[in-house]
């Protein structure tokens, strides 16, 4: 199997700075490259439906809630891990397409609730089928054992990275180096 770019980068750092251990790049660099490749591979069904980045996230978050498919902007923000400002922009675009509606909360007249329209439910149901089929195809080259191991290892890495740092720089610093910075 040919060497990937990350292996080449590590080899170069070992040559240039033998006093350092660049081996973490073999994992972190590959995860970053993988995230970029996955973004490209996962985007086509959403783009074909005329949805921009993050708009399917709104539709999916509402659909996963079950009937009546409604959440406040704050709840959407929490579920999608984005700011309420980002939610507002996405919701505005989806309202213009007739896929969601915004109404006054029945609980608090000052609050708003975002809900899927019938067209939004239909499109979301169609796209989640396409999305999961696409994801299954992407993972098709892995054995069941590989998938189980990868699920476990990625879960462990996510818990490690997402946990508050105990000391020093690194975990949770909020700054992510691009591969070009490696």
Looking at per-residue confidence, does 94 or 174 come out higher? 94
Question: Count of alpha carbons within 13 Å of 14, Cβ hemisphere only?
Answer: 12
Question: Which own/partner contact pairs does 33-41 have at CB distance under 8 Å and 24+ positions apart?
Answer: 33/4, 33/5, 33/6, 33/179, 36/179, 38/138, 41/134, 41/138
Contact 76, 116 (CB under 8 A): no
**pLDDT per residue over 79-138, tens digit each?**
888 888 889 999 999 999 999 999 887 777 778 899 999 999 999 999 999 999 999 999
pLDDT of residue 146: 96
The answer, yes or no, to whether residue 2 has pLDDT greater than 70, is no
**pLDDT per residue over 149-164, tens digit each?**
999 999 999 999 887 7
Longest CA–CA separation in the chain, Å: 65
pLDDT of residue 89: 92
Q: CA 99 to CA 25: how far, in whole Å?
A: 42
Other CB atoms within 10 A of residue 66 CB: 8
Residue of 21, 79, 151 whose CA lies nearest to 90 = 79
Q: CA 19 to CA 30: how far, in whole Å?
A: 22
């Amino acid at each position: 199997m040919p060497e990937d770019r990350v292996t080449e980068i590590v080899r170069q750092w070992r040559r240039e700075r033998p006093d350092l251990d660049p081996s973490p790049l073999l994992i972190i660099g590959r995860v970053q490259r993988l995230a970029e490749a996955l973004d490209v591979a996962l985007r086509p069904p959403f783009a074909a439906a005329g949805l921009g980045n993050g708009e399917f996230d709104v539709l999916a978050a509402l659909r996963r809630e079950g009937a009546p498919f409604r959440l406040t902007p704050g709840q959407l923000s929490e579920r999608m891990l984005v700011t309420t400002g980002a939610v507002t922009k996405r919701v505005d675009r989806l309202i213009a397409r007739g896929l969601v509606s915004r109404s006054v909360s029945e609980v608090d007249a000052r609050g708003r609730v975002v809900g899927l329209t019938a067209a939004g439910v239909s499109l979301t149901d169609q796209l989640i089928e396409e999305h999961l089929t696409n994801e299954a195809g992407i993972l098709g080259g892995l054995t069941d054992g590989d998938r189980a191991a990868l699920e476990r290892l990625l879960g462990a890495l996510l818990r490690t990275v997402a946990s508050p740092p105990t000391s020093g720089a690194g975990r949770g610093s909020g700054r992510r180096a691009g591969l070009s910075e490696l």
